[in-house]
Structure 1
Amino acid sequence: MTSSSLTKPPMRGLLAKCPQFCIIGAFAVSLQAAALSKFAVAEPGKKVYADFYRNYDSIKGSEEMRKAGIFQSDFGM
């Protein structure tokens, strides 16, 4: 009868190694999420606003809103 011995699991330093691995992983994931939100949401939104206001005429816009009944002012136009 032969007995095969199993290798012992690494127990020394395990308590210190696991949280360190999780903290590094969480930091990496948070950096990726921040970069994704900046480049996929914020930058395109800034570009859309810049394109809109580049050719926006506020007088014309207020006249259109007044004619549509959305914008009501007491100053009379």
Structure 2
Amino acid sequence: MASSALAKPRMRGLLAKRLRFHIVGAFIVSLGAAALCKFGVAEARKKAYADFYRNYDSMKDFEEMRKAGVFQSAR
């Protein structure tokens, strides 16, 4: 009577069933991480670079560095 109370564990196909579940979960998590990286980091960095170079004057920056003594060959 005690042996009939416990159901036998299902062992056949258990690995395949768990792998299917975990592979789908890993795929969804990796897509989420990639989207977060693209929109959270890459797009923000692109926008920051575009904002910086929108009104960047390289000659003005060169003159300021030259006056500060950064360059040894340009006086």
Q: What TM-score do you get using the length of structure 1 for normalisation? A: 0.79
Q: Which runs of 5+ in 2 are unaligned?
A: none
Question: What is the aligned-residue RMSD (CA, Å)?
Answer: 1.9
CA–CA distance in structure 1, aligned partners of residues 7 and 72 of structure 2? 82
**When you count helix as a share of all residues, which structure comes out higher?**
2
Aligned residues: 74
Task: Confirm or deny that 1:8 pairs with 2:8.
Answer: yes
Q: What TM-score do you get using the length of structure 2 for normalisation? A: 0.81
Larger relative contact order (C-alpha < 8 A, sep ≥ 6)? 2
Q: Report the alpha carbon displacement of residue 26 of structure 1 after superposing the two structures with TM.
A: 1.1
CA–CA distance in structure 2, aligned partners of residues 44 and 67 of structure 1? 33
Task: Confirm or deny that 1:55 pairs with 2:55.
Answer: yes
Q: Which runs of 5+ in 1 are unaligned?
A: none
